[in-house]
Amino acid sequence: MPRYRICYSKHGPARYISHLDLVRALERALRRAGLPVAYSEGFNPHPRLSFAAPLPVGSEGLAELVDVETTAPVARRELAGRLNAALPRGLSVREVTEVPENAPSLMAALDSAGYIVHVDAGDLPACPPADAVRSFLALDHIEVTRRGKDGQEKVRDIRPGILDLKMLSVDGDLILELRLKTGSAMNVRPEEAVEAFLRHAGLAVDRADLRITRTGLFAGDSVLSKQPG
Amino acid sequence: MDMNKLVEKALNRVQKPGRYAGGEWNAVRKDWHNTGVKMAFAFPDVYEVGMSHLGLQILYSVVNGRDDALVERVFAPWVDMEEQMRKTGLPLFSLESRKPLRDFDIVGFTLQYELSFTNILNMLDLAGIPLRSAGRERGDYPLVVAGGPCAFNPEPLADFIDAFVLGEGEDVIHELLDACLEARRRGEGRRELLLRLAGIDGIYVPSFYQVEYNERGLVQSVTPVVAGVPARVKKRVVADLDKVHYPTRMIVPAIEPVHDRAMLEVQRGCTRGCRFCQAGVIYRPVREKEPETLLRQAEELLASTGWGEISLTSLSTSDYSRVGPLIGALAEKHGGAGVNVSLPSLRVDAFSVDLAKEVQKVRRSSLTFAPEAGTQRLRNVINKGVTEDDLMEAVTAAFAGGWHAIKLYFMIGLPTETGEDLEGIARLAHRVLERGRGLVKAKGRLKVTVSVSSFVPKSHTPFQWEPQNTLDELRRKQEFLRARLRGRGLVFNWHDPESSFLEAVLSRGDRRLAASIEAAWRRGCRFDGWSELFDLDKWRAAFAETGIDPGQYAYRRYEYEDVLPWDHIGAGVSKKYLVREHRRAVAGEKTPDCRGGKCPGCGLCPALEIRPRLAGGESVAPLQDLLQ
């Protein structure tokens, strides 16, 4: 069955919907678009969709990925055009590519993601010192506490999962660019990394004030998707 | 900080921000500055509940269909969102344009259940709109209107709402909007606008009426105090459901609503005449839609929304005269695309099980039936035209057809109920279970669930004069059933009687309850329909503080001669008919459904100049007072 990789963005009002709701939204959009989507077998058939990695509620995604299987070949431009016309505000298709038959699944391939995190000047007690990034990345261990689903607190070292961190400042707002491990092997959340960095710089911010944008998805050194420009 | 920034800050701090984000498929965003009249449709419950409501979709589509009007949605913010709003001073805003509610010309609440009343006050307060109509006389505040089932006893909310709209909204909403536009063109003030509205059929402006009470503490009279205002306001009904606008471009909710499917209304009204049922009165008469209309609307709905399921909605869909062929045609047309048809409620008979078999290829869920009472005597009293044989036939067909779980709905505290009737509930449940044992192969999965709710007397029904059982009686009855509904394969569910008590107080309340509702809200009552937030103690304190004995409202037995707080609101059926129905109830006499051609003389057709209508153009000719 033909498989297409859809690169899309999730922004505006759509960034407030959960991953499950996004799946429902896409299912409906595919129906409205009248595309020959392949359905799963069983009592409760669903379109055969497989996502790269769920995006947390509230985060924006500029180059998210989902693979969709169809029962017949569709021209890539047609697929993009028809789906775009059927997507709600905040979801849009950027690009469609064909996936070779034996290509690994997105979830298996993905191992890191790029982020931009924006903190308004008003939400920041002070600007981090210029050398904060260098000294942060020089740390051997960066321990963070995360509360698991069972309510137990777990301490983890996220340093190996922080591949890159850059600090850009515009108009007093703090803008951080990160590359973090994501996927099944190791997963670092951007808010964890940013919080750890700001703590290192002696600053405390409210997690809810971080504006997080996922800008691209990567498999090792190869780019799975990336925001254009 | 600008509005958008405030909203985003709040959204990042709540559990389900999708409730407030808007931007859904088919949501309409119009040019704010170039639209004449702006209305906010306010649903006093959470997004997931409100978005499952057909009335919202209908009015949204009707109003936005006009060039000179727009309507945007707003829902009750959940407690976490309210906390954020109060902390940051963010006013209640609409989903579409994120405009503060205060900037609208009209704020329209839908009154679906009494336990949402405190949410209305909370929403007005969060919007910065004075709670009481009197407080809105000066200042450029939106007109606050309300409609829906609870508008049929509007009195407890009379002080808070400027105008109530009675009955079906499709036509009268245009008259309301036109009146607003006309009043503005003429530069009229608020009072002139209200006078204009009071002149429209189906609109009740409570501030133009004076209520007197007698020495027994009952309503003595409700009289218009302004010339030209009708003494009695009658509900509006749509004559032809095939011609009236139906929304086929429904908003597709962004987060999962309670009912996540396309809604196809196959008919309006139910004339079975269950004597406890208010919907059966206020949505009279029965008006079926033609199958061709429905097939066309189904096609448009599915294409424009992408929903994979379509629900045939009405008060009693098995009663729709063309239901079998309709289901067949829908399956033939859309089944290939994987669209499922669903039926919301099943009549208690084998025919309905056959329908369920047709639409439910997989017997995953349970089937639900509502015999409502445990003995034939009591079922006759409530005029539930169901026999034990009907029920046994239905469950036999269900078990034989592959279902292994059955839900049975009953009511306790019905007028004339005795221990025998309660025994009857337990006996029926055991009999159904026994039948299942003989027919269900996977015995371990056999399940009979008995759900019991408490009778609440409602305005405009034959039981409007009846008292509710006391909380102690209801609890004792629940206990009685619980002891008899134990064992393998049986599940007993009951509805919290405390919230039914409050429902009874509010549903038969008068204007004196306004102070209590406000006091309850000030004490923190919100989302009273949500068991995790409902707190009867706060309400009790509110009643005490405002000098109201709630028991007087819930437990009072009215005399036929008494003036009822809602007597000036006309639902179409005559009081004479309701009295007769009440007498027949007590005598255990059944009254037939006028669908069969025999008119029981409810008085609605001549009063509202309308007729019942079945598909195919058949009309049941109503004869007057046949049974008198």
Q: Give B232-273 pLDDT, tens digit per residue.
A: 999 999 999 999 999 999 999 999 999 999 999 999 999 899
Please tell me which of the candidates A30, A88, A209 has its beta carbon nearest to residue B254.
A88
pLDDT at B588 over 80: yes
Q: How far is A160 from chain B (nearest CA, A)?
A: 28
Per-residue confidence (pLDDT) for residue B359, from 0 to 100 = 86
Query: CA-to-CA distance for B288 and B320, rounded, in angstroms?
Result: 7
Q: Count of A–B CB contacts within 8 Å?
A: 77
Per-residue model confidence (pLDDT) at position B61: 98
Residue B363 confidence (pLDDT) above 70: no
> For residue B576, which phi and psi values (nearest 5 degrees)?
-60, -45
Give the CA distances from residue B9 to residues A59, A120, A210, in Å, rounded to whole numbers and listed in that order.
13, 11, 10
Phi then psi for B359, rounded to 5 degrees? -90, -25
Whether the pLDDT of residue B625 is over 60: the answer is: no
pLDDT for res B35: 94
A28 touches chain B (CB under 8 A): yes
pLDDT value at B623 more than 70 = no
| DSSP letters for B267-327 | EE---S--TT-SHHHHT-S-EEPPHHHHHHHHHHHHHHH--SEEEEESS-GGGSTTHHHHH
> Which range is least confidently modeled, A71-85, A90-104, B350-364?
B350-364
Q: Region B439-458: what's the mean pLDDT?
A: 94
Q: Residue B405 and residue B101: Cα distance in Å, rounded?
A: 46
pLDDT of the residue at B624: 47
Overall average pLDDT of the B359-385 stretch = 89
- The answer to whether A32 contacts B303, with C-beta atoms less than 8 Å apart, is yes
In degrees to the nearest 10, what's the CA dihedral of B539, B543, B544, B547?
170
Is the CB of residue A24 less than 8 Å away from at least one CB of chain B?
Answer: yes
Which whole number is the average pLDDT over B6-22?
A: 95
Question: How confident is the model over A202-208, as a mean pLDDT?
Answer: 93
Cβ separation A18–B303 shorter than 8 A = no
Residue B100 has pLDDT above 70, yes or no: yes
Position B373 pLDDT exceeds 50: yes
The mean pLDDT value for A105-116 works out to: 93
Mean pLDDT score of chain B: 95
CB contact under 8 A, B23 and A12: yes
Would the pLDDT of B377 be above 70? Answer: yes
pLDDT at B628 over 50: no
Tell me the C-alpha distance between B92 and B90, whole Å.
7
Of A21, A44, A86, the CB nearest to B18: A21
CA-CA distance, B220 to B218, in Å (whole number)?
A: 6
A87 CA: distance to closest CA in chain B (Å): 7
Q: A71 CB near a chain B CB, below 8 Å?
A: no
pLDDT digits (tens, 9 = 90+) for B391-406: 999 999 999 999 999 9
**Which domains are delineated in chain A?**
3-108 (3.30.70.580), 110-226 (3.30.70)
| DSSP line for B116-174 | GHHHHHHHHHHTT--SSGGGGSSS-PPEEEEESGGGGS-GGGTTT-SEEE-B-HHHHHH
Q: What is the pLDDT of residues B48-62, one digit of tens each?
A: 999 999 999 999 999
What's the rounded Cα separation, in Å, for the pair B360 and B353?
A: 10
Residue range B467-495: mean pLDDT, rounded: 96
pLDDT at B617: 78
In chain B, which residues touch A (CB < 8 A)?
Answer: 9, 11-13, 17-18, 20-25, 27, 252, 254-256, 260, 303-308, 337-338, 362, 364
Token code pair at residue B479 = 């206990």
Mean pLDDT (whole number) for B591-597 = 89
- Position A130 confidence tier, pLDDT thresholds 50, 70, 90: confident
Distance of alpha carbon A129 from alpha carbon B512, whole angstroms? 65
pLDDT at A224: 86
User: CA separation (Å) from A27 to A41, A82, B574, B599?
Assistant: 16, 14, 50, 49
Return the number of other C-beta atoms located less than 10 Å from residue A205's C-beta: 18
Q: What is the mean pLDDT of chain A?
A: 92
Region of A168 please: left (phi>0), alpha (psi -120 to 50) or beta: beta
Q: Which residue of A has its CA nearest to B96?
A: A13
Average pLDDT of span B531-552: 97
Supply the pLDDT for residue B346. 85
pLDDT at B337: 84
**Residue B364: what pLDDT?**
67
- Interface touch A32/B337, C-beta < 8 Å: no
Which residue of chain B comes nearest to A32, CA vs CA? B306
* Interface confidence: ipTM more than 0.90: yes
DSSP B176-228: HHHHHHHHHHTT--HHHHHHHHHTSTTEE-GGGEEEEE-TTSSEEEEEE-STT
Q: Which of A16-25, A159-168, B613-622 has the lowest mean pLDDT?
A: B613-622
* Residue A1 pLDDT class (50, 70, 90 cuts): confident
| pLDDT level of residue A228 (50, 70, 90 thresholds) | low
A24/B260 touch (CB, cutoff 8 Å), yes or no:
yes
Pick the closest to residue B466 from B510, B420, B507 (CA basis): B507
Q: Which residue of B has its CA nearest to A39?
A: B338
Q: Give how far B296 is from chain A: nearest CA, Å.
A: 17
Contacts of B256 in chain A (CB under 8 A): 20-21, 24
Q: Are B50 and B77 in contact (CB under 8 A)?
A: no
Q: Which pLDDT does position B1 carry in this prediction?
A: 67
Contact B24, B253 (CB under 8 A): yes
Q: What are B227's two structure tokens?
A: 């010339």
pLDDT range class, residue B428, cuts 50, 70, 90: very high
Determine the residue among A22, A31, A212 to mutate to test chain B binding: the one whose Cβ has the most chain B Cβ atoms within 10 Å: A31
Kindly identify which residue of chain B lies nearest to residue A13, measuring between CA atoms: B21
Mean pLDDT on A68-83? 96
pLDDT surpasses 50 at A42: yes
Cβ contacts (< 8 Å) between A31 and chain B: which residues?
A: 306-308, 337
Q: Name the residue of chain B whose CA is nearest to A209's CA.
A: B9
**Is the preceding peptide bond at B415 cis, omega within 30 degrees of 0?**
no
Query: Which residues 189-208 in chain A show a CB within 8 A of chain B?
Result: 208
Q: Nearest CA to CA, how far is B19 from chain A (Å)?
A: 9
